[in-house]
Structure 1
Amino acid sequence: MSAHQRTLFQSWGRRDQNPAAAPDEDEDDDDVMLVAVYEAERSLQAAPELGFDPSAGRVWIYPINYPLREYQLRISEAALLQNTLVCLPTGLGKTFIASVLMYNFYRWFPSGKIVFMAPTKPLVAQQIQACHGVMGIPQEHMAELTGSTAAQQRRELWRSKRVFFLTPQVMVNDLSRNSCPAAHVRCVVIDEAHKATGNHAYCQVIRELSNQTQQFRVLALSATPGGDVKAVQQVISNLLISHIELRSEDSPDVQTHVHQRSLEKIVVPPGETLAQYQTRYLQVLEKFTSRLAQMRLLNQRDLRSFTKYQIILAREQFRRNPPPHIQGPQQGVIEGDFSICISLYHGYELLQQMGVRSLFLFIQNIFSGPKGSTRVRNELQRSPVFMDLYREMESMFATASRGQPREPYVYSHPKLQKLDQVVLQHFETWAEMSTRVMIFSSFRESVQEIAEMLSRHQQLVRVMTFMGQASAGKGVRGFTQKEQLEVVRRFRDGGFNTLVSTCVGEEGLDIGEVDLIVCFDAQKSPIRLVQRMGRTGRRRQGRIVVILAEGREERTYNQSQSNRRSINKSIMGNKHSFQMFAHSPRMLPAGVTPTLHKMHISCGRFEHRPVKGRRSSLLTFQHLLI
């Protein structure tokens, strides 16, 4: 065992150095606990068989290393006994609850396996350290599994280790190869559990485990359980949930632990210039949608009310049931028309929500894209209205597209000007104090544009960008896992005070305390806003500003807020409206009811193990920093 680790026996021994640690426990109980913990550790080394340790199972342990929060204690207790979905706003201790559950199952089942799944590798790397810091499971009993670990090495780790941190994709692969001993898994923690819909890897893991054993506990964690009631039911069914613990910022037992957060909605009209661009762009759209409408494949309606999703649905309907008057080669032509309309409507959404420059970058990618874009390119280049519009945008942003913003700066959307004002005002107000700002936008091109705009104020605003790993075409490239973690570290440590992020910054990663959150777009799902809001108000009062384009984006935001209230009302007011999993296993033998024992846990220091072939931490971030 590492010199920095204490055994469970030694951890308990620390209580004698802290007389106030458990003032409500008498000496008899202390003696029983001392023996139980000692026997649990002995059985860990001596018991080759899989099973429950009755000596360890007399108690369940709750740490007093941290200030006691009653809601965390009660949720932990409930999660020990049934498969539980925990819905807590970001920053209120979901990982703490997971650590308590994992630690107790680690004690109760000395030969069992404990699994913590998170959707991304950076989250996995963060959670293994966080869980160790709460309950101090010996680091030599834990393993972080990634797809880059050789399959044979993972098989050996599954055999020799007990607590695993990994992405669900890795877990699916190891279950399919029989590397993971499914029958030995006793506890599964699922982070960002709202993703468990459809055939997501989370669903595949639980399905495969339940095919091999019924004796495992599930703890699902999320800031909000789903985008609508139907999605919540999917999560419940797919993860075998039998009980829900939901708290909002307004819950009485949570209110004392949440700092006040103000939420401001700013609705920005398009302005005359942007409105003119939209009108001209709609003329291009009309040419292509009218051909589909004439063939009765699209309903004739106001072009402004169409969405990309509606056109995708119309294309699926055409594929399933093509009209008899459309035969042979003509079907290929119509497929091309649908493809053009879908691309053009994506551009229209960019123009409405993000501005002219984001549309320009999108079209640039079409023109320089793969062979699959040839028909779209050719059709657009044959449109005089479109080409006039494109050349005008090219002239406007030619300098900016080479990385040098024009002077005077051209705001390609009135929302950008409002964002500029909000951020500058914040830093001027907080001039005497250290403060940080986080800005969210769904599109990478928009993230890049916002960062370039704010970099004009280098005396006040030190800005960097943050994006996911995937890269597509010749657009803005993604960040590797190492780069993501380095960006987070430098922002948290104060190297930069403004982070402009895509949705990758919403989920889970410990960004640190942020005083201002700016949402530069609206999403239909309430999940996204809830996660973004959770980035502020953790240690002091926070502020959230949502900047919306007048019209469709504003309506989308209002609907999202309505959905969020509806979901919480359904769960809090009438849990019977959901169909819960009826066979949540009793993991403890009949007649065994462990009693709560609060104790101080000595965690030791988490040692970052060197990764073979890892580059120096002094990475070059020219493409990250603006």
Structure 2
Amino acid sequence: MKTSIQHDGEGINPLIRYELIDTRLYQENIAAKARLRNTLVVLPTALGKTVITALVAAHFLFNQKQTRILMMAPTRPLVLQHHQSFLEILKIPDDEAIVLTGKITNRNREEIWRGNNHLFFATPQVVKNDLIREYIDLRQFSLLVFDECHRATKDYAYTYVAKKYMERAPWPIILGTTASPGAERKRVEEICRALFIEQIEYRSEEDVDVVPYINPVQTEWKFVELPEEYLKIKYELRELINERLSWLRRLGYLQKNIEYTTRRDLLELGESLRSNISHTSEKNKGPIFSAIVAQSAALTLFHALELLETQGINILGYFIDKIESTNNSKKSYRTIIKHHKFQTLKKNIDESKKVRHPKIDLILDEIKQQFIRKPTSRIIVFTQYRDTSKDLVRILNESLQVRAERFVGQATKDKDIGLSQDEQTEILRDFDAGEIKILVATCVAEEGLDIPSVELVIFYEPVPSEIRHIQRKGRTGRKAAGRAIILAAKDTFDIAYVYASKKRVEKMRKITRLLNKDLKSLIRLGPKPKDMPLTNDELKAFEMKADELDDGNTVESISKNEGKRFLAEVDRASRTILSETMKIGQKGVNIESITNSLTLDGISPNAVMAAINKLEDSGHIIRLSWDRIASIKVVSKQDHSQSRNETDVFKIIVETVFPGRVIAWINDRWRARILPEDFEGPLNLLKKDSTFMARGTLYRDNGILCFRVTEIQGLT
């Protein structure tokens, strides 16, 4: 349905390529309002948030040629995607639309911000950093766009950027877009405060002005029953959980009946226990530490039970192997491993590994039927866990005559290597071309990325988050009618999530509508700027440049070249850092100093940090403290020389005591965290400025350096 969009009574905006977009009445209405006041746009995936954003931007580009526009998104792939979309929708030359990332040197970014470009695309962290460096004059910007703005909470960079924009710009206009801001009123209010929102524009598939434009998505709930082998292991896990819950209840820490105790109850109990430690005398802290260990062990077992019920025996087996590994021998883990029932549990798991979760056979059947109906179908299977995605891809490729691929994030988790941006791009390209028929994706495919329309989406498990539920479902039904199948195992964690997701979606809709009535208009610093539209000559020059786009200078090629340059910078930085740490020796290199030095050589700070992380992950360097690194070879030599006299004995100096953790210096060299479950010794030693000798082990937990005390050797 092609329509013309009115701009302040001036008719069609000449910067918009109407022949390439299917404009919709609700998009027109939202865009017309969004250019007047700070607006939060809440639209489910596939209802055209990008088009609305481009329409609002086009208004300012044409009518206020003297101002600038900034479009932000949380990740670099999303930033590049928006850049490409704007070039397709708007008649603007690509040298007017600039992508700024951390891979561009500070010096070059400063020159670009202070240049004459009118349209910028960047991640919020880059913008925040450049605001701090005073590269950006926000007074020049007529519009700031915050995509995936549900992230605008607490200390996320969006909040800083919005605050500075409102403080400095004479007539600021903010546009925030999201599929869902959340299902809690406090969270939505926090987002509105952070982005200074004056109005909320919410639409769903049921709204009368949306219905004519959408393709129906048939949602089906399919339920399975767990096999006997699973029920047996479920009973054993439940017994282990109940033992810990009963102990906590007997000692008065837990008030609820154990049959109705949930993980949320345990999480709240953990917060309470850790808070109580700071208000408890030293002699009475012992029982609280024991309670924390029991609470932590119960949470671990709850997670194991969820993996069994919702994912399968193999995934549970991977988790059991993890808690048994020496690198993760936390006190709460050890209490599980040493339990007399644990070996029986593990034996039953090993014997049942060939019993697949019934969801898998259901998935195979649904996919086969889909390809019978339409052999060219594209299908996405969503799952929360990487281990599940790996197993599903293997089973699908073994069972079907089509290609299935895993689509996960870039981070490496538990030795599972993520996908680089180039790898992600290549997989999506092959999926779009039909070489890949099935994507098995984690949450990385839920948010924002331009994944081609698919005929079938399968949820391997329900998700309690209304944001993720809406984003997953929105992957189908974009260009034609689609199907979404949500799998759930009866009488399991799945069922709780089924009701939670339905309830939270309805709650989110109600909150956004009610909150809109309470929002107030803001007083701005200056007068509303007068329109200064592009002249006919300027417009012709604009359009001519836009039509002369070099086919080889696409976003994709720019992205690939940037990636190559970045990797080259990381390699250069890695060689220099390795050389310097070897040269300096055991006292280590100051991170800030080497970063400044390498930046002067044309290497970006992001590349320096990537090099440090790469060298740390590969075991070439170690962090001595938050701001110093050293060669592992030099440190190992020193540790080896000491080990002949002290073996694994360390000098511990307690720096700070917090509820539930202690920060200490280890051998005057490493600043590490000590958790209650990692401390075997008298609790009165865990006082500020306390110094003692102990046997122990350094390890990392989610990147944080920790120390496990296994035996006290004496005081100093």
TM-score by length of 1: 0.79
Shift of 1:560: 2.2
Paired residue for 1:344, among 284, 292, 301? Answer: 301
Give the letter for the 2:390 counterpart: Q
Paired residue for 1:219, among 157, 160, 175? Answer: 175
Asked if the contact 1:81–1:587 (Cα under 8 Å) also holds between the matched residues in 2, the reply is: no
Shift of 1:194: 2.0
Q: Deviations over 1:429-469 (max 9, x none)?
A: 323xx11111111111121122222122231x321011112
Q: 1:103 to 1:173 in 2, by over 3 A?
A: same
Tell me how far apart the structure 1 counterparts of residues 566 and 114 of structure 2 sit (CA, whole Å). Answer: 32
Length, aligned pairs only: 548
| Unpaired runs of at least 5, structure 2 | 568-716
Matched, 1:75 2:17: no
Asked if the contact 1:62–1:100 (Cα under 8 Å) also holds between the matched residues in 2, the reply is: yes
Tell me how far apart the structure 2 counterparts of residues 136 and 335 of structure 1 sit (CA, whole Å). Answer: 61
Aligned match of 2:339: 383
Matched, 1:502 2:442: yes
Q: 1:104 to 1:542 in 2, by over 3 A?
A: same
Matched, 1:365 2:322: yes
Please give the residue correspondences for 1:44-193 in structure 2 after superposition, counting only pairs within 5 Å.
63-65=17-19, 66-160=21-115, 161-193=117-149
Please give the residue correspondences for 1:429-578 in structure 2 after superposition, counting only pairs within 5 Å.
429-431=373-375, 434-459=376-401, 461-474=402-415, 476-551=416-491, 552-572=493-513, 574=514, 576-578=516-518
Matched, 1:420 2:364: yes
Q: Deviations over 1:568-587 (max 9, x none)?
A: 24445x45554345347887
Q: 1:616 to 1:147 in 2, by over 3 A?
A: closer
SS of 2:209's partner is helix
Asked if the contact 1:61–1:100 (Cα under 8 Å) also holds between the matched residues in 2, the reply is: no
Shift of 1:227: 2.4
Tell me how far apart the structure 1 counterparts of residues 5 and 210 of structure 2 sit (CA, whole Å). Answer: 25
Shift of 1:508: 1.2
Asked if the contact 1:136–1:601 (Cα under 8 Å) also holds between the matched residues in 2, the reply is: yes
Q: 1:578 to 1:477 in 2, by over 3 A?
A: farther
Give the letter for the 1:427 counterpart: F
Tell me how far apart the structure 2 counterparts of residues 514 and 23 of structure 1 sit (CA, whole Å). Answer: 30
Matched, 1:249 2:199: no
Give the letter for the 1:136 counterpart: K
Give the letter for the 1:492 counterpart: D
Give the letter for the 1:410 counterpart: V
Aligned match of 2:689: none
Tell me how far apart the structure 1 counterparts of residues 566 and 151 of structure 2 sit (CA, whole Å). Answer: 34
Tell me how far apart the structure 2 counterparts of residues 227 and 175 of structure 1 sit (CA, whole Å). Answer: 32
Tell me how far apart the structure 2 counterparts of residues 393 and 615 of structure 1 sit (CA, whole Å). Answer: 48
Asked if the contact 1:60–1:594 (Cα under 8 Å) also holds between the matched residues in 2, the reply is: no
Tell me how far apart the structure 2 counterparts of residues 613 and 497 of structure 1 sit (CA, whole Å). Answer: 27
Deviates more, 1:271-280 or 1:604-613: 604-613
SS of 2:145's partner is strand
Deviates more, 1:285-294 or 1:88-97: 285-294
SS of 2:175's partner is strand
Tell me how far apart the structure 2 counterparts of residues 505 and 24 of structure 1 sit (CA, whole Å). Answer: 35
- The structure, 1 or 2, with the larger RCO (C-alpha pairs under 8 Å, 6+ apart) is 1
Tell me how far apart the structure 1 counterparts of residues 198 and 285 of structure 2 sit (CA, whole Å). Answer: 53
Q: Deviations over 1:328-351 (max 9, x none)?
A: 444444433333222222222222
Q: Deviations over 1:49-101 (max 9, x none)?
A: xxxxxxxxxx7865422333222222211111111112222222211111122
Shift of 1:214: 4.9
Q: 1:244 to 1:328 in 2, by over 3 A?
A: closer
Tell me how far apart the structure 1 counterparts of residues 127 and 175 of structure 2 sit (CA, whole Å). Answer: 16
Tell me how far apart the structure 2 counterparts of residues 376 and 515 of structure 1 sit (CA, whole Å). Answer: 45
Tell me how far apart the structure 1 counterparts of residues 124 and 77 of structure 2 sit (CA, whole Å). Answer: 13
Asked if the contact 2:72–2:79 (Cα under 8 Å) also holds between the matched residues in 1, the reply is: yes
Asked if the contact 1:522–1:548 (Cα under 8 Å) also holds between the matched residues in 2, the reply is: yes
Structure with higher strand content: 2
Tell me how far apart the structure 2 counterparts of residues 512 and 236 of structure 1 sit (CA, whole Å). Answer: 31
Tell me how far apart the structure 1 counterparts of residues 565 and 163 of structure 2 sit (CA, whole Å). Answer: 38
Shift of 1:521: 1.6
Tell me how far apart the structure 1 counterparts of residues 84 and 515 of structure 2 sit (CA, whole Å). Answer: 35
Paired residue for 2:159, among 188, 203, 211? Answer: 203
Deviates more, 1:113-122 or 1:100-109: 100-109
Asked if the contact 2:244–2:294 (Cα under 8 Å) also holds between the matched residues in 1, the reply is: yes
Q: Deviations over 1:199-255 (max 9, x none)?
A: 322222212322333532111111223223333222222211112222211222222
Shift of 1:188: 0.9
Shift of 1:23: 13
Tell me how far apart the structure 2 counterparts of residues 213 and 296 of structure 1 sit (CA, whole Å). Answer: 56
Aligned match of 2:676: none
Asked if the contact 1:85–1:245 (Cα under 8 Å) also holds between the matched residues in 2, the reply is: yes
Give the letter for the 2:46 counterpart: G
Deviates more, 1:127-136 or 1:355-364: 355-364
Shift of 1:176: 2.0
Paired residue for 1:283, among 239, 247, 250? Answer: 239
Q: CA RMSD in A?
A: 3.4
Give the letter for the 2:466 counterpart: P
| Unpaired runs of at least 5, structure 1 | 1-19, 34-58, 398-408, 618-626
Tell me how far apart the structure 2 counterparts of residues 140 and 594 of structure 1 sit (CA, whole Å). Answer: 20
Shift of 1:298: 2.3
Tell me how far apart the structure 2 counterparts of residues 577 and 369 of structure 1 sit (CA, whole Å). Answer: 56
Q: 1:320 to 1:458 in 2, by over 3 A?
A: same
Tell me how far apart the structure 1 counterparts of residues 4 and 350 of structure 2 sit (CA, whole Å). Answer: 70
Aligned match of 1:313: 268
Identity fraction in percent: 28
Give the letter for the 1:418 counterpart: L
Give the letter for the 2:483 counterpart: R
SS of 2:448's partner is coil
SS of 1:139's partner is coil
